[in-house]
Structure 1
Amino acid sequence: MTSNLVMYQIDQYSQAFINQSSIDGYNIQDLLSKVSIYYVPMVNPDGVTLNQLGAGGFSNKNELIKMNNGSSDFSAWKANARGLNLNRQYPSGWRTINNNVRSPSYAFYKGVRPFSKSETKALYDFTLSHDFKTYVAYHSSGEIYIGRITLVQNATPIVKSLI
């Protein structure tokens, strides 16, 4: 769902830009001449594929089923295809994460150290390389929204209008 929502937002901004129209009273061409919006529609493509389509296309199918408590139903899968939950890969509070398991699993394995997987390190490096004033993170599996809205001089974030 997260990727669909993000792609919908991109489509809405693009259409408003092309049609020189507004969203919630904000002129999108004017807004986008003052700010940049970066989207990362998906950080865990192998985990999403596994969740949606099952283990059939993976070379480690038997290992994945074992990590999934013997089940071939991957609808509750929250890790990448190596059994590591990427949301538990960031350094903030890493040592004190609750419900951690000691080996790869469908949901709770945090890995041996923060940023041990390239996906999380790449996202971290990307955020450090920009001076973001605002961020929004959707987490459909956890059913949460994380964000920090800061007014930018001469431009007001309008993310709320597309949620």
Structure 2
Amino acid sequence: MDINVRSGDTIWYYSNLFNVPLKLIIDSNPQVNPSALAIGQIIKIPGYQVSSYKIQANDTFWKIATERRIAVDSLALLNPTVNPRRLQIGQSIRIPVKVTYRVVDGNQAYDYQVLTGHLNKLFEIYPFIRNETIGQSVMGKNLDELQIGRGSKIVHWNGSFHGNEWITTAVIMQFLNDYLLALTNKESIRGLDVGPFYDQVTLSIVPMVDPDGVNLVLNGPPEGEFGQEALRINQGSTDFSGWKANIRGVDLNNQYPAKWDVEAARKPKEPAFRDFPGYQPLTEPEAIAMAELAGERLFEKMLAFHTQGEVIYWGYEGLEPPRAMTIVNEFGRVSGYEPIRYVDSYAGYKDWFVKVYRQPGFTVELGEGVNPLPLSQFDEIYQETIGIFLASMYM
């Protein structure tokens, strides 16, 4: 919600007027000097939207504000040209509405278009979210990284490394919405005050690593050469439900130089709907973007969300730090998932991250069944995962 500064207004006053944490207003206006507001300057207030209201008989600003449990001065601020003593029946005024509801519904077929629509809504309501395009997919879709928070501890989450595991993006996005709601409304999640997390942690989130693959699974092959090649790789079948790879038939989570040669020796030798590690490591733009991001951000811990199995893989060749065990045990406690240290599978993002940075990295396998998991599991998976999201910030 945008407002215009009046004489005497301060950021501190807006924080009290709208009951929004001061730090969130400051971070929503990075180009503004909080100590030197200028009359007429536009300030973004997070956690609010504006609705239109037509004046009815006997209405006053006080009556309208009382009915909506908002401050009278918030109406004056949003309606600077309206004389509150001379309201006219039918006259339109602007009313601030605090957002106390989700705008993200994860329980749906969650393709790139749905993601983009939800991101745009979140950026509008919560302008303290920082967004950076870290690369593009093979077909040119933006790979977005979101950053939330001020902390020196950078915690990374990602989803949909595999096309038919798109439900991971939906889970991440719904929790992100709940976290933003809790921050702006000064609420807790599962009894935890999340306000301190904002000061202690910077979340780095890439919600959809493989947008081309996700769209292929959910919407079928696109027109043109990429769609034709995908059909060829899929042996002419239009059923792409088993497709794990990117649009070129490369498994993005087999693309990393962490025993890549071991995987290459026993996996498909040419593009396939799953498991082909590429002709060499880090050939695909999506995998390269994620590797570069890790180098730039230097995550304190990294969580890659996949499906399925209700397990959490956390080790690589003994290079994982000792505290990784403490963290994964907490993940297991709050989710009911089983921690597994080693598995005969390599070249994944988690493996490479642990190998290169010697920090805790986790592959979290949500749900149980056959990918893509049905949406009938969404609510259960979401409830299981909330504790992992929270624990990743407080551990």
Structure 1 pair 118–61 and aligned structure 2 pair: CA distance change class (3 A): closer
- Out of 289, 295, 310, the position equivalent to 1:128 is 295
1-structure distance, mates of 2:287, 2:311 = 19
Matched, 1:91 2:257: yes
Structure 1 pair 142–93 and aligned structure 2 pair: CA distance change class (3 A): farther
Query: What pairs up with 1:9-158 in 2 under 5 angstroms?
Result: 9-97=175-263, 99-140=266-307, 145-146=312-313, 148=324, 149=327
Q: TM-score, normalised by structure 2?
A: 0.37
Cα distance, 1:162 vs structure 2: 6.0
Structure with the larger RCO, 1 or 2 (CA within 8 Å, 6+ apart): 1
Structure 1 pair 53–145 and aligned structure 2 pair: CA distance change class (3 A): farther
What is the root-mean-square deviation in Å for CA atoms of aligned residues? 2.5
| Runs of 4+ displaced beyond 6 Å | none
Cα distance, 1:142 vs structure 2: 7.6
Letter of the 2:301 partner, please give it. T
Match of 1:46, SS?
helix
Give yes or no for contact 1:101–1:109 (8 Å, CA) kept in 2.
yes
Structure 1 pair 110–77 and aligned structure 2 pair: CA distance change class (3 A): same
Unmatched tracts of structure 1, length 5 or more: 152-157
The answer to which of 108-117 and 90-99 deviates more is 90-99
Aligned residues: 157
Letter of the 1:124 partner, please give it. A
Structure 1 pair 103–144 and aligned structure 2 pair: CA distance change class (3 A): farther
Q: TM-score, normalised by structure 1?
A: 0.84
Structure 1 pair 142–46 and aligned structure 2 pair: CA distance change class (3 A): farther
Give yes or no for contact 1:86–1:120 (8 Å, CA) kept in 2.
yes
Cα distance, 1:161 vs structure 2: 5.8
Cα distance, 1:112 vs structure 2: 1.3
2-structure distance, mates of 1:78, 1:100 = 14
Match of 1:160 in 2: 388
> Which structure carries more strand by proportion?
2
Cα distance, 1:56 vs structure 2: 4.0
Structure 1 pair 55–142 and aligned structure 2 pair: CA distance change class (3 A): farther
Unmatched tracts of structure 2, length 5 or more: 1-166, 315-323, 331-385
Letter of the 1:110 partner, please give it. P
Structure 1 pair 56–65 and aligned structure 2 pair: CA distance change class (3 A): same
Letter of the 2:232 partner, please give it. K
Structure 1 pair 161–34 and aligned structure 2 pair: CA distance change class (3 A): closer
Cα distance, 1:141 vs structure 2: 6.2
Letter of the 2:216 partner, please give it. L
Structure possessing the higher radius of gyration over alpha carbons = 2
